[in-house]
Every structure is written in structure tokens, then in C-alpha cells.
Structure 1
Amino acid sequence: MATAGPAPGGWHRPVNRYAAAVLAAAVAAAVLWGQLRDPGRTALAWTGMTGGIGVAFTGLGALVLAGVPGHRVGRLMVAAGVSSLGALLAVSWTEWRPAAWVGQWLWLVPFGLILLALLVFPDGRLPSWRWSPVAALVILGVGGATVGFALLTLVPPHDQLLTGTPPTTAAGRTALSIANVSAILAILGAAGVLASLGRRWWTATGDTRRQLACLLPTLCVMALTIWLDSSWNVSGAWLLTVVAVPAGMTLAVLRYRLYGLDRVVNRTLVWLIMTVVVIAAFVALVSLLRWWFFGSDGSSEASLVATGLLAVTFQPARERVQRGVNQLIYGDRDDPYLVVRRLTGLLRDTAEPDAVPQLLTEALAASLRLPYVAVETAGRHAPRRLAFHGDLTFHGEKPDGAESFDMLAHGEHVGRLIVATRSPGARFTRGERRLFSDVALHAAVAVETARLIQDLRTSRERLVVAREEERRRLRRDLHDGLGPTIAGMSMQVSAAQRIVGRHERAGTILDELAGDLRTCTVEVRRLVDQLRPPALDRGLPAALRAEGRRFDGEELSVTVDAPDELDGLPAAVEVAAYRIVAEALTNVARHAHAARCTITVELSDALVLTVVDDGVGLPTAGRRGVGLDSMRERAEELGGTCALRTVAPHGTAVEVRMPLRLGVPVS
């Protein structure tokens, strides 16, 4: 029987916090004592780097777990920090042999854990199962290198990693080989982790992209670190990166939303790119100037000239980079004419008006990097969402930044264009609102055109259905009413002829009347047959089988695969299906030179007819015949489709889909 766990905020959490605080204080005291006893024991840079990893990742990882208990990224961060602190503690007490041994390989473990944390960042899951080999590379690489170093330090003289002397024994060389091969795997795994982050950024939208954006300042800090370390030899510069990485991860996982975060990302990208460009340009210019003009002793002069050139070109370069970053984050926001022109071309080139609203929302979202775009039409009782692209929710909450723009056509309100801001709490600029208003006018014309075309199609379908239903009724009335009446009158005339006998004048009149009645009977039968194919009186499957038998022979084998009963089909659908199959069989017999033809009838959400032959296939050139256009028109009259395609290795397939209900076009 399950029992309730401790309530949030109970005594368990404070105890855990106090225990963690006491343990951290004890570790810090032990490390500090060990370092003070022998300050030259380890390099200051290594101590600062390892201690920074331990403190930053442990503390910030604990903060992640406090905010999102059980989050895999937080667990990996804490594990990386604790293992780093363990390595620092072991190195601080190397006079104890086990600590000296552990200190020579434990420092590798945090890097593997950090790579795994970045691989599952920001949601704690791999991007997909296809990235599992990357995780395996990281684990095998870092784990193998750790095992190799651990084995190597077991071989005398036990301090080969500290002194750098090559191993002299076979066991030592084997352990070093394991470590070297594993290091290559670890490097490949690290490259895969970077690729996964790039892939996530490229495919992410909405809040996920904003979470990933929290790592962008880390790249800027890393560039600054490299510059400080290489150019100025600043001791401990790498501590900036050591703190920036877990800080960015913590900010993202805790979903700490800053209003205007897109602006922060924009500026970070601009200055990151400019930093890299300026450093690279400065180094290149100084090298070229020294080589061409000043010589190896003219470093100061070359640096001065390079600084002047960079100062002159900095602002134009920054503006160009700014435009590129704006294009990346905001799309074509700075060129509204291009957006309108692109949407106008979309409206012009789209042959199917029904598809225009969906294409418009997709194009607008892609062009302006918008998380959500929708088109709503004004329904009789409530607005109806006609098309949309993207997701309107952020962590399950409706954003307050979604704005709507009225769509007006011919002075009437036809709907709204709904656009969500790029981040919660953000607002569109005045220029963007004007752009969306212009787009809403274009969308209104497209929506109104699509509605008129749909109304026209519905009216045509109703006319066709009403026509066929009326024909079926007339045929039934003529066949069951007028036909028997005329037949009865003919029988009465025949009886009168027998009664009159030899009366010449009366006989002549009766003979003429009998002839007229026979003519009426033939005409009524002809009208009945023209109103509706007689074969359909036995149902569509029986009619199709009868039509197949009419073409079946020695030169062409026809097979009909259809259910025994297809009840409830509208009269118009039955007639159109029968006529289309008859026309398709005629084309097969006349032009296909086929040996076999198969007719398949399926009933799901639509009536699906397929006529497949093994003939010569579709002609490669030339005008299509009237029969093909007739089949297509019969299907489209009812909101259906008729498609022709070539089948392998040779032959033709005619596929027809027709709706079962009026006004519901097939997909």
C-alpha cells in the first residue's frame, strides 16, 4: 500500500540542506588546510580551475535540483562538481597514497559529466535516439581515459602523470595506449555534443530556443577568456568560462524568463561575432604589416596602424553584422516590402485557393521568426480557426503578447490575423504592427476568395446531387407509374380489338392507337434509361461487375474487386462512379493495349475507385483526350478528385476519391 511522502517544505529538505552545507564546509576546510600546508603542491591555475568547477557546478546544480527536483541536467552538474571537489581534495593530501592515486585520474570525470549534461540540455533528454552513440562516445572516451590513467599510476614509479616521463613497462605502455585511444573517442564525443547543441538550436522554436540562447553569453565569455589567456597571460582567466557555463545552464533549466531576452541574445550575438572578427583581423593585420612594411621589430608600429584601420572599419562592420543577426532572430522585419512582396507572390502562384491561408501562416511565421500565426474567420456563432502554424502556449500558459489584426474585404469584417510575440512579455514595434495590418488585408482578400470559391463549389455539388436525385425520382415514377399505365392501356386496346372484330373503321382506329401506345412505351423506356443507368438499379457493385463483363474477353481480362453491398450512397456519387469506371474501361480497351485490368472499390471516409491496367502507360506527349477531362470533371463536381499515374513496370492507374456527404471535400 502506497504511503504519502513528506510534504513539500517538510523537515527532510532542511536536513538535506544542512547536511550538504556541513559536508561542503568540511571539504572546503580540508582542501584549504592541505593547500596551506604545502602551497607549491599543485599549480595555482589547476587548483583554481578544479575548485571553480567544483564550487560552481555543485552550487548551481543544487539550485537546479531545488527548483526542478530530479532534473537530469541538475544531477549531472552536481555530480561533476562533487567529483571535481573530490579530485581537488585528493590532490591536497597526496602524502596519503590512496589520495595521491585518486588525484591523478579523478579530475577527468567532471569533464565527461559536463559533456553529458550539455548533451541532454535543456530538458534532460537526448535530442533523439540517434544521438545515443554520442553519449556512448563520451562515456567510453572519458571513462576509458580515466581507467587508463588509473592503471598507469598503479605501475611504478606511480607519478608518471606528474613528471611526464614515458612508461617503461609493458603494463604502463598498455595503460597509456588505452588512455590515448579513449582520449580520441572523448574528443569525437565532445564534437558530437557541440553538434547536438547546434542541431537543437537550428530546429528549436519558442521557449526551447530561448533556453538554448542562455548559453550564447558563454561563448562570448569563452572568447574573452581565450584572448586574456593568450594575449595578456592573465592567470585564472578560465575561471570566467568555468562559472559562465553552469550559470547559463541554470538560467535556462529554471526557465528564468527575462522580458526582452531576444534583445539580450541579439546584442550578445553581435558582440560575440564582432569580438571574434576584431581579434582575428587585428592578429592578421599586425602579421601582414610586420611582414610587408615594418619587419620583425616593428610590432608597436604595426599594432598602432592595425588599431587605426579597425577603428575606421568597426562601425560599418558592426552595422553589417547587426543586419545579419537581425535577419537570424527577427527574419525580414527590417524589410517589410520584401515580406509583402513574398506573400503577394504566394497568393499569385498558388493554384488552390483553399491552401492559401495555411501557406500564408507558414510563410509569415518563417519570414519573421514568429512562434505562432493563425487566421480566424468570422463564423455565425463563434470565430473559426481556418489555419495556423506554430504553438501558442509557453510552458502551458497563454502568453499575453498575442495580438490580432482585423481582416477587411469589400468593407466587411471577414476575420482576424493572430500573431504571437517572439517571447513572453515582448511587444511588437510600430513598424511590425503596420506590416501585420497590411498582411491582414492581403489575407482578407485570399480568405474571401477562398470562401466564395467554396460557396460556388458547394452550390455546384448541390445542383449535381439535386439533379441526380430528381432523375432517380423521375425514373422511378416513370418506371413504376406511367410505364404500367401505358402498358395497361395497350392491353385494353388489344382487348377492344378482339371485341370489335371485323368492324373496319373501329379496327383501324384501334390499330393506330395501339401503335401510338407502343411508341409511347418505347419513348418512356428510353427516357428512363437516359435519366439513370439501368444497371444501377441493382446497386453500384453489381453495375460495375456487369460493366466489367461487357469488356471481359480473350484480349482483355477484367477483374472487379468490390464489396457486395454499398448502401446509402448518394445518387450523384453512384452515377459519377459508374460513368468514370465505364470511361476508364473504354480507354483501356481502345488505347492501353493491356492484357489485364483490375477495378477496386473501397469505402472508408470516401468512396475510392482504382482502375489499374498493365498496358503501355500514359503518353509522354500530346493533348489529353476528352474522356480524361470528363472523368476529372465528374469527380470535381462532387468535391472529389481524379488522378492518373504510371505504375511499374508499365501500365496506368486511375484513382478516384469522392465524398460520401455533400460539402465535405476529400483530402
Structure 2
Amino acid sequence: MTQSGIRSSTQPVTAVTPSTEALHLSADERRGADDAPVSSTQPVSTVERSAATLPLPGWLATALAVVAVGTLVVLPFALAAGGLNLTEAVDGYYVQSAALFAVLGAVIVAKRRGHVIGWVLVAIGALNTITELVDVYLLFTIGNIGRGVSGTVTPTFDEFPVQLTVLAVFGWAWVPSLGALAIALPMLVPDGRLLSSRWQPLAILGVAATVLLTAVVVLVEVVDIPTLVEVSAGILMGLAMLASLVPLVLRFARSGGAERQQLKWVFYGLAFSIPLLALGVLGYYFGIGGYFSIAPFVILPTTITIAVLRYRLYDIDLVINKTVVFVVLAAFITGVYAVIVVGLGQLLPIGEGNLGLAIAATAVVAVAFEPVRARVQHWANRLVYGRRATPYEALAAMTARLGDSTDPGAALAEAARLLAEGTGAAQAVIWVAQEGLLVPRASTGQAGPDPEPVARSGPELPALPETDLAQAVRYEGQL
């Protein structure tokens, strides 16, 4: 949340009390915060639960991350030396995602002391590293199993007993990796806990689906598995993946404060990852490569890490705002050119590549761009910030109005009102430092009597009553 103070001879302290939309943020969680959460008329939960942790040594996460990064560095060149060109060697999902997931997970484990989400990311990275190593081993020793890069003939156990044993023992690693990514993370993010105990059956279903599909993948290499069993295992896994999105959506709908901002980062990553993954699947289907499918496994762990670490948490409102404006304007420009150049070019009896239509499309875009941009920006502001002011509007209004004020008391009252409008808080109070006390001098949204003065000692800001977020204003180092 952006907090502002008023520099005056009395050095005030601003405090914001959002009431039913209270923010419970610690000092490190506010670091880099640039905006306030979106207000909501729905009941929200503002009591933050402690994050779930695992009592595992932090060095283990670091070691797994180092192995994953080493795999990323070494394997492409090893594959290239074995006959693949470098583009083919680095193509694919496992080696890139293994390194990124493991590294980001290790960072979370180190920064958040064993946070469950960090360990889930590390596990995904470690399992994908195993998958990649098995694939490369099979490519070098057989050349026609694993990802099937170099051949199409399926080997038998009599011909390659060691290789197929390795495949049976370690070739299943991608299944729990998929379960952790598509089932565990949606159910646990951002605090590593289930939304409530009611979701335990779904968690059990997810574990059962992952175990069943893992068993099928292991056994299919050594025995004949009925087709019905294989298909059923895949369907059950898919249903569990879809069902795991339900608690994620409900968690967002019921969230408030910092948790809501965390989940915005997650959904922002999903908004890009799902379309890109679909494009990657289509790319494989049409034989043009699945390069788009790599991007989601960069975007999603990055946004999840930002959410869990709460780094510049409230930047997400600005990011969403700018993204909406960019996407809509890009669609507008593309649509204008498509309608004028392509559409009219097909309808009118003129030759292809008509320069006049291209000039006309450019003229339309040039004339309409600014009105459309202003309208889209206004719509994006309403979408992201609701009815409250944007941070820039609040700051501009405060500067303009306070610059015209000659009464310090009126200036403080106006500052409190603008703070409440700009942050969406139910109440904003400005406290003034006087002779060892902090005295409330201006407030907005006050339902009862003013709070009592608070004693202070030293340069640190004391705890203020019924306040969820306070920001000190200092002048020459003094409160």
C-alpha cells in the first residue's frame, strides 16, 4: 500500500485502518509496496494464517538447485556432441523448468524458512532433472526411446535390460512433477496450506490420481497394462487437475489484504501461461515445435515466487493495469488493419497490397488512438482500482490541494481524507509527534471518539491502536 505523509513542523505519522478490508502486513511485506488492494463488497478474510513449513535442511534445497543448474548447463552440449544440433538439444520443457523451479524454490526456502511452496518448487525441479537425465541416458545408449528423438523402433527387455530397468525405476518422475505443479500448487498457494479441512478429500484424490498414473507409467514398461486402466488413470489425473483450480478460485474470492495481492500475481501468471501452453500444444500438433510451451514454465514459477516472497507485492495492480491497456490497444490496432487492409481489400475490386488501404488504416489508427487509449485507460483503472482513486490521482490531488492550504489543521484533515480515498481504507488517521507522545490530530471515517495519545521513546514508531498499517514521516531524521 502506498502511504504518504505531510511534511510540516509537527512531523505527522499516517496510519490507515481498513476495517473489514484490513491489511495485516509486516515491515518486510510492505517493502516495495506501491499500491493498495482492490476493494470488494464481498466479505473477505483478513486474518493471515502462518505459512506451513517443512523441517528439512535448507542445504538440501540448495544442493538440488545446483544439480538442476548443472544439468541445464551441461546436457545441451552433451546432446549436441552426440549428434543433435544445439537448437534440438535445448528444445523441450524439462531441463529449463528443472533449473528455474529448483532455484526459485531454494530461494523461497532460504528466505521463508522452509516454506512448503518453496519445497514444492524444489521437488518439481528435482523430478524434472531426473526425467531429463533418464531421457539423455536412453538417447545415448539406445537412441529411440525417452522422447523419441532419434528413432521409432521400441526396444525389448531382452535387448536392453539395463536401459529399460532404468526407465522403469526412474522414468516415472515426470508424473509426480505434474501432480505437484497442477494439483498441489493450486491447492496450497500462497501459504502452503489447504483452504480448509473440507478440501482434504480433494487432496487425497490428487495424491491417489498421481500414484495411480505413476504406477501405470512404471508397469507399462515391463508388463502389458489394459488400455482401460491407462485411459482411466489419465482421466482421473485430468479431473484432479481441474478440480484443484476450484479452491484456488474460492481462495481468491474470499481473500483480502496481502493474500489477495499474492493471488493476483498467481492469476496473472496463469493468464499468460494457459494460452501459451495451448499454443505450444498446437505447435506440436501441427509440427512447428512446442516452443510456446516453454514460456509458461518460466512465467508461472516466477509469479508464484513473487507472491510467496511478497516482493513488490502491490506492484501487481500497476502491472495488470498496464497489461490490460497494452493488450486492448494492440487488439485495436490489429483489428483496424485487419478490417481495412484485409477486409476491404477482399471486398473492393483492387489489387493486393494496395498502398491506399494501408495509408487509410494508419490514418484511422493515428486519429483514433488517443481517444481509444484514454477510454481504455479509464476502464483499466476502474477494473484494477475500483471506485477509489489511482495512486497517481491521489498524489496529484494531495499536492494540488495542500499547496493551496494555509491552515495546518485543515491541511492535515484534507491529507487524511485523500489518504483514505487513495488507498480504499475505511479510516485514515494522522498522528503528530509532541513531547514524547503521538497525538491523533486528523482523521477520516472516524466512528467513535479519537484514540488516546500513545507514548513513544526513541526513533522507532510505537504500535498504534486499531491500526493495520502505519507509515512514519521523518524530517532530518526525527519522527
Normalized against structure 1, the TM-score is what?
0.41
Please name the residue that 1:51 is paired with: 95
2:164 aligned with 1:97: yes
**Cα offset for 1:249?**
1.0
**Distance in 2 (alpha carbons) for counterparts of 1:46 and 1:126:** 36
Moved more, 236-245 or 56-65: 236-245
2:175 aligned with 1:121: no
SS of the residue 1:48 aligns to = coil
Please name the residue that 1:87 is paired with: 131
Residues 141 and 13 (structure 1), Cα distance of their counterparts in 2 relative to 1, 3 Å cut: closer
* CA displacement, residues 511-549 of structure 1 (integer Å, 9 cap, x when unaligned): xxxxxxxxxxxxxxxxxxxxxxxxxxxxxxxxxxxxxxx
Residues 253 and 90 (structure 1), Cα distance of their counterparts in 2 relative to 1, 3 Å cut: same
Residues 26 and 184 (structure 1), Cα distance of their counterparts in 2 relative to 1, 3 Å cut: same
Match of 1:131 among 199, 214, 222: 199
Residues 284 and 319 (structure 1), Cα distance of their counterparts in 2 relative to 1, 3 Å cut: same
Residues 65 and 379 (structure 1), Cα distance of their counterparts in 2 relative to 1, 3 Å cut: closer
Counting only pairs closer than 5 Å after superposition, residues 14-33 of structure 1 correspond to structure 2 as 16=60, 19-20=63-64, 23-24=67-68, 27=71, 31-32=75-76
Residues 103 and 312 (structure 1), Cα distance of their counterparts in 2 relative to 1, 3 Å cut: farther
**Distance in 1 (alpha carbons) for counterparts of 2:245 and 2:361:** 33
1:201 maps to amino acid: F
* CA displacement, residues 207-259 of structure 1 (integer Å, 9 cap, x when unaligned): 11121222354246437846986799686333332111111111111121356
CA contact (8 A) 1:330 1:368 kept: no
SS of the residue 1:92 aligns to = helix
Match of 1:325 among 356, 359, 380: 380
Please name the residue that 1:110 is paired with: 177
Match of 1:241 among 288, 296, 301: 296
Please name the residue that 2:209 is paired with: 141
**Cα offset for 1:64?**
0.5
2:266 aligned with 1:199: no
Higher relative contact order, structure no. (Cα contacts within 8 Å, ≥ 6 residues apart): 2
Moved more, 249-258 or 228-237: 228-237
Residues 300 and 144 (structure 1), Cα distance of their counterparts in 2 relative to 1, 3 Å cut: farther
Counting only pairs closer than 5 Å after superposition, residues 562-573 of structure 1 correspond to structure 2 as none
Residues 26 and 323 (structure 1), Cα distance of their counterparts in 2 relative to 1, 3 Å cut: closer
CA contact (8 A) 1:91 1:103 kept: no
2:471 aligned with 1:400: yes
2:179 maps to amino acid: G
Match of 1:77 among 91, 111, 121: 121
**Cα offset for 1:90?**
0.5
Residues 192 and 18 (structure 1), Cα distance of their counterparts in 2 relative to 1, 3 Å cut: closer
* CA displacement, residues 360-386 of structure 1 (integer Å, 9 cap, x when unaligned): xxxx99x98725435254469669xxx
Residues 320 and 26 (structure 1), Cα distance of their counterparts in 2 relative to 1, 3 Å cut: closer
CA contact (8 A) 1:225 1:238 kept: yes
Residues 39 and 140 (structure 1), Cα distance of their counterparts in 2 relative to 1, 3 Å cut: farther
**How many pairs were matched up?**
332
Q: Which runs of 5+ in 2 are unaligned?
A: 1-55, 142-162, 391-418, 428-444, 455-465, 474-479
2:446 maps to amino acid: V
Please name the residue that 1:517 is paired with: none
Please name the residue that 1:617 is paired with: none
Residues 151 and 256 (structure 1), Cα distance of their counterparts in 2 relative to 1, 3 Å cut: same
**Distance in 2 (alpha carbons) for counterparts of 1:37 and 1:132:** 48
**Cα offset for 1:92?**
0.5
CA contact (8 A) 1:142 1:186 kept: yes
Please name the residue that 1:178 is paired with: 229
**Cα offset for 1:107?**
2.2
Please name the residue that 2:424 is paired with: 370
**Distance in 2 (alpha carbons) for counterparts of 1:42 and 1:145:** 33
SS of the residue 1:215 aligns to = helix
2:192 maps to amino acid: G
Please name the residue that 1:188 is paired with: 239
2:323 aligned with 1:268: yes
Match of 1:293 among 332, 347, 363: 347
Larger radius of gyration, structure 1 or 2? 1
**Distance in 1 (alpha carbons) for counterparts of 2:204 and 2:337:** 39
* CA displacement, residues 484-531 of structure 1 (integer Å, 9 cap, x when unaligned): xxxxxxxxxxxxxxxxxxxxxxxxxxxxxxxxxxxxxxxxxxxxxxxx
CA contact (8 A) 2:168 2:219 kept: no
2:309 aligned with 1:254: yes
Residues 58 and 322 (structure 1), Cα distance of their counterparts in 2 relative to 1, 3 Å cut: same
Counting only pairs closer than 5 Å after superposition, residues 568-647 of structure 1 correspond to structure 2 as none
Which structure has more helix as a fraction of its residues?
Answer: 1
Please name the residue that 1:60 is paired with: 104
* CA displacement, residues 103-142 of structure 1 (integer Å, 9 cap, x when unaligned): 6543232221012123211111122233334434433334
CA contact (8 A) 1:104 1:150 kept: yes
* CA displacement, residues 401-450 of structure 1 (integer Å, 9 cap, x when unaligned): 89xxxxxxxxxxxxxxxxxxxxxxxxxxxxxxxxxxxxxxxxxxxxxxxx
Residues 290 and 19 (structure 1), Cα distance of their counterparts in 2 relative to 1, 3 Å cut: same
Question: What percentage of aligned pairs have identical amino acids?
Answer: 25
2:326 maps to amino acid: W
Normalized against structure 2, the TM-score is what?
0.55
Residues 379 and 214 (structure 1), Cα distance of their counterparts in 2 relative to 1, 3 Å cut: closer
CA contact (8 A) 2:68 2:99 kept: no
Please name the residue that 2:79 is paired with: 35
SS of the residue 2:177 aligns to = helix
**Distance in 2 (alpha carbons) for counterparts of 1:278 and 1:98:** 56
CA contact (8 A) 1:215 1:249 kept: yes
**Distance in 2 (alpha carbons) for counterparts of 1:177 and 1:285:** 49
**Cα offset for 1:69?**
1.8
